[in-house]
């Protein structure tokens, strides 16, 4: 059926497979067994049908280690001309979000891998999430890219008539030409949801007004086996087998081809495309209220029999808006971009093998999945963000080692990572990195442990999402047991409505808070405890003091604290000390009553730690050496007096210890969010909030101090005997 047949309609069957950096092996293995492998087995049984495959570099690396036979089988098909392999950014980055150097580098990395493994460099690429920006042809052209598929909606929205979208179009930027193959949304929603015979028959006449042309299907391979109900539909009920057989019966009317073959045909015309992606992405990038307005506008137009006009002219935002919607996404993005620029700057000034290893770690940190959120968990999945930070920390550790050499050292600097116009302070040594934000309440934005390759302050803020208003409503439509995941919000977990709580400010470490009454964990979790001070997000003055083999970041400010009807002035100084060779840091807080009247208030020093699992038996809290129930990280807890809090991580064999002097009232509670996944709305444990609370009863001019020492240590401590039931206030 390939290429040379004279059928009026030509069909490209393109499948994109990807697994994120940081994903669990068992999750990838399940996708392999349910989607990637059975799809390959069916395609092998139909030698007359060529197809196009893109596997991300993340997935190729996993397959090399876990399922190398799959790669050999793909290689045999490629050699026989039965499958075309597409390139792309190796670690599946959103290319427009990268620097030109990283765009070209990631594309070259994939092209080199495919050439080495399969004997041919690709001419085309898969564009991650089909995110397009007008300047892309420049870097793609410089990288030898000749063509790529995009959604047809991106052409329709700039005025290409639907009856003309039946072949490749040319576009350019800076004189670099690129061929764009429009992938039909009508096919994306039919495969595999419509009847296979009907879908094959539709392909005989897929264009408005009929006639010849190219019909492209290009979509995720996980849809063909991993999405809910899809494995049963495609392989147990033989949807894919029946579809391919139906195509073979229609070979006189439908010719199955590849992008490589089609690239030799004349283009249908010239087109210039604005920023965009597939239609659903445009909605997901918008804030919740705007998503609601977008949906109302589309529904209103459908009611007025203007559905086609709605599809064309009612558009959402564009992908980069995720950086504005989610401060955590922007922070990771700018951290990775800054580290990548540093890597380029020291190229040639360090050992080549070290530089290449650092560069690959930093490229892995650009994997797109943890930077955004739509119908999949994405940014909301802590292990995906953890995967990004792990690669970022490993890459930066290699670069730091090249700059400072072996042995103990300490250094500091400034950078405006989030581009808010205010610098962050960086304290680092051979063991860890601390990033403080003086303008945002003097908080700790990031605590990286180099040996563990982890950012411990990786806790997502609770914020409203558009679909939260639908949480708990059950799926209303079904398509033969396998429904499109774009249509409905079912509740995967019970009690999600109680978790729809939202934060006023981003989560961070070393946060200064004040309360008029003793803090209570559940009141803190549910936002029922009112703040009585203005320190939480206010700017702090700052300086860095150099000591022998140590650095001290000094942050200070005067603020207001209200006690009943009376307002007091409070001076707060926060000294963060980092010594060379230490795998921890010390914070010394000094509170001074600058008012003429006596001050009575509760000071709370809030910290956040993310150890990924809230109910795992191998992760728990020790208070003064005792495992006091409920010890799980995902539980609320209150201890009236505590001097040492330890968070144990048996899975990776280390623990985090917080030592307090004097002893404090200790409150903890889980930070949990509700996000959407392909199986419905679900609960996500984002980390543990730890509040060290101190009653301040200060006369005029009186001061009091609190010292915190935080350290990550290797090994699992043995807890002392638990106290009698009821000793913990939870």
Rg over CA atoms, the chain: 28
Q: What is the Cα–Cα distance from 532 to 65, expressed in whole angstroms?
A: 55
Q: Residue 494, class by beta-carbon neighbours within 10 Å (0-12 exposed, 13-18 middle, 19+ buried)?
A: exposed
Q: What are the CA-CA distances from residue 462 to residues 184, 328, 443, 508 (Å)?
A: 37, 11, 18, 12
| Best CA proximity match to 607, nearest among 443, 437, 427, 432 | 443
Choose, from 220, 251, 534, 624, the residue flagged as catalytic: 220
- DSSP assignment of 643-709 equals EEEEEEETTTTEEEEEEEEEEEEEEEEEEEEEEEETTEEEEEEEEEEEEEEEEEEE-TT-EEEEEEE
Q: How far apart are CA 622 and CA 718, in angstroms?
A: 10
What does the block give as tokens for 525? Answer: 């979790």
Please tell me the distance from the alpha carbon of residue 323 to that of residue 334, in angstroms, as a whole number.
9
Coil vs helix vs strand at 398: helix
Strand partners, 426: 413, 435
Tokens of 83: 């499958």
Whole-number Å distance between alpha carbons of 238 and 58: 29
Determine whether 220 is an active site residue. yes
> What is the C-alpha separation between 461 and 310, in angstroms, rounded?
34
Give the distance between the most distant pair of CA atoms in the chain.
Answer: 94
Give Cβ neighbours of residue 325 (< 8 Å, ≥ 6 apart).
Answer: 285, 287
C-alpha 70/C-alpha 636 separation (Å) is 47
Given the residues 102, 129, 139, 328, the one annotated as active site: 129
CA–CA separation, 587 vs 574, rounded Å? Answer: 7
- How many other CB atoms are found less than 10 A from the CB of residue 193? 17
Query: Is 129 part of the annotated catalytic residue set?
Result: yes
CA atoms within 13 A on the CB side of 340: 23
* Strand arrangement, sheet containing 410-415: 410-415, 424-429, 432-437, 443-449, 454-455
Do residues 681 and 492 touch, judged by C-beta distance below 8 A? yes
Residues forming the active site? 129, 220
């Amino acid at each position: 059926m390939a290429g040379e047949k004279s059928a009026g309609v030509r069909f490209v069957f393109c499948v994109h497979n990807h697994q994120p950096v940081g994903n669990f092996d068992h999750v990838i293995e399940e996708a392999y067994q349910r989607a990637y492998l059975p799809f390959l087995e069916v395609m092998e049984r139909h030698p007359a049908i060529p197809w196009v495959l893109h596997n991300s570099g993340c997935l190729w690396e996993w397959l090399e280690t876990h399922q190398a036979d799959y790669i050999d089988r793909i290689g045999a098909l490629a050699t026989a001309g039965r499958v075309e392999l597409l390139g792309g950014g190796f670690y599946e980055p959103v290319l427009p979000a990268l620097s030109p150097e990283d765009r070209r580098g990631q594309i070259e990395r994939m092209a080199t891998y495919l050439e080495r493994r399969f004997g041919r460099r690709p001419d085309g690429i898969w564009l991650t999430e089909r995110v397009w920006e007008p300047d892309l042809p420049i870097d793609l052209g410089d990288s030898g890219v000749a063509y790529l598929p995009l959604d047809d909606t991106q052409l329709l929205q700039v005025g290409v008539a639907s009856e003309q979208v039946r072949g490749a179009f040319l576009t350019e930027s800076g004189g670099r030409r690129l061929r764009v193959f429009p992938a039909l949304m009508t096919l994306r929603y039919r495969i595999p949801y419509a009847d296979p015979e009907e879908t094959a028959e539709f392909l005989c006449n897929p264009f408005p007004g009929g006639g010849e042309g190219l019909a492209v299907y290009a979509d995720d391979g996980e849809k063909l086996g991993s999405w809910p109900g899809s494995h049963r539909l495609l392989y147990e009920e033989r949807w894919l087998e029946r579809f391919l057989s139906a195509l073979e019966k229609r070979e006189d009317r439908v010719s199955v081809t590849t992008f490589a073959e089609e690239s030799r045909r004349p283009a249908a015309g010239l087109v210039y495309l604005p920023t965009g992606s597939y239609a659903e992405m445009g909605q997901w990038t918008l804030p919740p209220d705007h998503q609601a307005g977008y949906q109302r506008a589309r529904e209103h137009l459908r009611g007025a029999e203007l559905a086609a006009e709605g599809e064309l002219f009612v558009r959402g935002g564009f992908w980069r808006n995720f950086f504005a919607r989610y401060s955590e996404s922007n922070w990771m993005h700018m951290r990775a971009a800054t580290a990548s620029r540093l890597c380029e700057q020291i190229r040639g000034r360090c050992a080549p093998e070290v530089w290449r290893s650092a560069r690959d770690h930093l490229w892995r940190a650009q994997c797109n999945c943890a930077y955004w959120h739509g119908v999949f968990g994405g940014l909301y999945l802590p292990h995906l963000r953890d995967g990004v930070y792990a690669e970022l920390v490993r890459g930066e550790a290699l670069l730091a080692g090249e700059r400072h050499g072996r042995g103990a050292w300490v250094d500091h600097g400034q950078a405006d990572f989030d581009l808010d116009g205010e610098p962050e302070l960086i304290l680092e040594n051979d063991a860890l990195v601390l990033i403080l934000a003086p303008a945002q309440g003097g908080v700790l934005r990031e605590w990286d442990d180099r040996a563990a390759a982890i950012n411990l302050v990786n806790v997502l803020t609770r914020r409203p999402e558009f679909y939260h208003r639908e949480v708990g409503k059950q799926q209303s439509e079904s398509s033969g047991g396998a429904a499109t995941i774009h249509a409905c919000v079912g509740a995967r977990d019970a009690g999600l409505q109680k978790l729809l709580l939202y934060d006023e400010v981003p989560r961070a470490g070393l946060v200064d808070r004040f309360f008029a009454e003793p803090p209570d964990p559940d009141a803190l979790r549910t936002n029922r405890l009112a703040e009585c001070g203005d320190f939480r997000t206010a700017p702090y003055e700052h300086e860095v003091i150099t000591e022998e083999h140590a650095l001290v970041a000094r942050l200070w400010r005067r603020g207001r604290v209200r006690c009943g009807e009376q307002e007091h002035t409070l001076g707060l100084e926060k000294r963060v000390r980092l010594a060379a060779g230490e795998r921890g840091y010390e914070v010394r807080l000094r509170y001074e009553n600058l008012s003429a009247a006596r001050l009575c208030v509760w000071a709370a020093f809030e910290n956040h730690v993310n150890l990924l699992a809230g109910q795992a038996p191998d992760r728990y809290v020790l208070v003064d050496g005792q495992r006091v129930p409920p010890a799980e990280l995902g539980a609320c807890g209150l201890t009236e007096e505590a001097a040492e809090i330890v968070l144990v991580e048996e899975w990776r064999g280390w623990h985090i210890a917080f030592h307090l002097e004097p002893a404090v009232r200790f409150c903890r509670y889980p930070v949990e969010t509700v996000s959407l996944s392909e199986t419905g709305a679900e609960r996500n444990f984002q980390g543990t909030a730890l509040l060290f609370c101190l009653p301040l009863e200060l006369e005029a001019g009186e001061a009091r101090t609190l010292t915190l020492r935080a350290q990550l240590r290797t090994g699992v401590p043995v807890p002392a005997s638990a106290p009698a039931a009821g000793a913990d206030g939870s």
